[in-house]
Amino acid sequence: MDKLRTQVGIVGAGPAGLLLAHLLHLEGIESVIVENRSREYVEHRVRAGVLEHGSVDVLTQAGVGERMRREGLLHHGIELRFGASGHRIDFPSLTGGRSIMVYGQQEVVKDLIAARLAAGGRIQFEVADVAVHDIESTAPRITFRTIGGPAEVACEFIAGCDGFHGICRQAIPGQTLHVFERAYPFAWLGILAQAPPTHDELIYAYHERGFALYSMRSPQITRLYLQVAPDEDVARWPDERIWSELHLRLETSDGWKLREGPVLEKGITGMRSFVAEPMQHGRLFLAGDAAHIVPPTGAKGMNLAVADVRALARALAAFFHSKRSDLLDAYSAICLKRVWRAEHFSWWMTSMLHCFPDGDAFQQRLQRSQLEYVVSSHAAAASLAENYVGLPFG
Ligand code: FAD
Ligand code: DHB
């Protein structure tokens, strides 16, 4: 059996696992990542696109923000669109100068993998049957299979960064884990299109046919989403149907037009809210989607992963450098405070902007009133803006 020894064993090479490995490396702490997909797969998985102000700072300070600063799109606001007209929310004036960066998650992942490999970091891709053991001891282990046969990582801590469907959360005994969950009666159909954006900023549109989101990845590529039924079959959405629905939901009475282009990627994402508490058991620490999920409307998923591993890297550094375990003990409580703020914000944005299949006229009037309040009240707009750009780290 192939046996490796390291300080921190990390399950999952998504944004959480990769950034954690890099932050630990900067602290002189060794880690090994095990990932069940291929490098090619994780580098091309199209997902989130918005980085909070603080996430941009974390990546920049960690020395992995160079391409992001060059190719990412710095945005100073978003537009809320309803009743066929747009209303801009200006971030810097409402948040003391904060903004967001539009930069694809898979680009963050590519930058982090390149940085890890350049620093001699170990990422074991395409492993199978990953399991964690002895998490209540001071010598936990990760076992898995590679094409070469069975393998093991012996470590001092395990970071479960293996996403919502991973195995780490399940390793925490059921009686100690509390799960909080909410399902939504809709999903998002997302496309990437080879079409230059015709608007400089993201547009969140409330429409009686359903929510639509206008985003982008570069001066040549648009990223668009449509609210669809929760069990929708992507085969029922040929490109022409998608474009026609996007035109209806996004276009305004002042003549703004959406530009079409070849569809490069198409997929459906379910919507849920989910939190598992606590985010730690023994020497196993959960981070990112392994511990919590938000509906994507607030663009918080990847940012929460960044915040979690920032806290975990600091706590592990305090342990390895100063034999302090107070930050490790406080890890779950520190993260959950931010997690629940993002859960609320994501639920609130989702509730305000989507059509609920069972929603009556009363609910629609409430949503419309809420939208009008957000775009006309300084206090309400500031509340949306400070949550969207991300609250300062605690
Ligand atoms: P992940 O990115 O899920 O990474 C987990 C990694 O662990 C993966 O590489 C996975 O292959 C690996 N893994 C899983 N199981 C195992 C195992 N047993 N052993 C080894 N490795 C394992 N957020 C937004 O804000 N906006 C969006 O538009 C948006 N779209 C999304 C679309 C989809 C389809 C999904 C699933 C999520 C989306 N999100 C979005 C959420 C956002 O992408 C996540 O919050 C973010 O990826 C969290 O990063 P992570 O590293 O915690 O988890
Ligand atoms: C994107 C995704 C989101 O969930 C969001 O709220 C904003 C932008 C995107 O993929 O660009």
Position 224 scores a pLDDT of: 98
Query: Does 222 score more than 90 pLDDT?
Result: yes
Count CB neighbours of 104 within 10 A: 25
**Going by CA atoms, what residue is nearest to atom 26 of ligand 1?**
48
Q: How confident is the model at residue 263 (pLDDT cuts 50, 70, 90)?
A: very high
pLDDT in tens, 334-358: 999 999 999 999 999 999 999 999 9
Q: Is 321 a catalytic residue?
A: no
Among residues 184, 207, 296, 331, the one annotated as catalytic is 296
Which atom, in ligand 1's list, is nearest to the CA of 162? Answer: 7
Q: Whole-number mean pLDDT of the chain?
A: 97
Among residues 22, 53, 75, 207, the one annotated as catalytic is 75
Q: Is 206 a catalytic residue?
A: no
Position 1 scores a pLDDT of: 80
Helix, coil or strand: residue 183: strand
Query: Does 15 score more than 90 pLDDT?
Result: yes
CA distance 11 to 142: 8
Question: What mean pLDDT do residues 273-279 have?
Answer: 98
* Total number of residues shown for the chain: 394
Least confident piece of the model among 107-116, 188-197, 253-262, 374-383: 253-262
Position 379 scores a pLDDT of: 98
**Going by CA atoms, what residue is nearest to atom 6 of ligand 2?**
299
Q: Is 388 a catalytic residue?
A: yes
Ligand located closest to 197 CA: 2
Question: What mean pLDDT do residues 175-194 have?
Answer: 97
Query: Does 394 score more than 90 pLDDT?
Result: no
How much is the pTM? 0.97
Q: How confident is the model at residue 255 (pLDDT cuts 50, 70, 90)?
A: confident
Q: Which residues of 34-72 are buried (b: 16+ CB within 10 A; e: fewer)?
A: bbbeebeebbeebbbbbbbbbbbbbbeebebbeebeeeb
Ligand 1 contact via 308 beta carbon (within 6 Å): no
Q: How confident is the model at residue 212 (pLDDT cuts 50, 70, 90)?
A: very high
Which atom, in ligand 1's list, is nearest to the CA of 288? Answer: 52
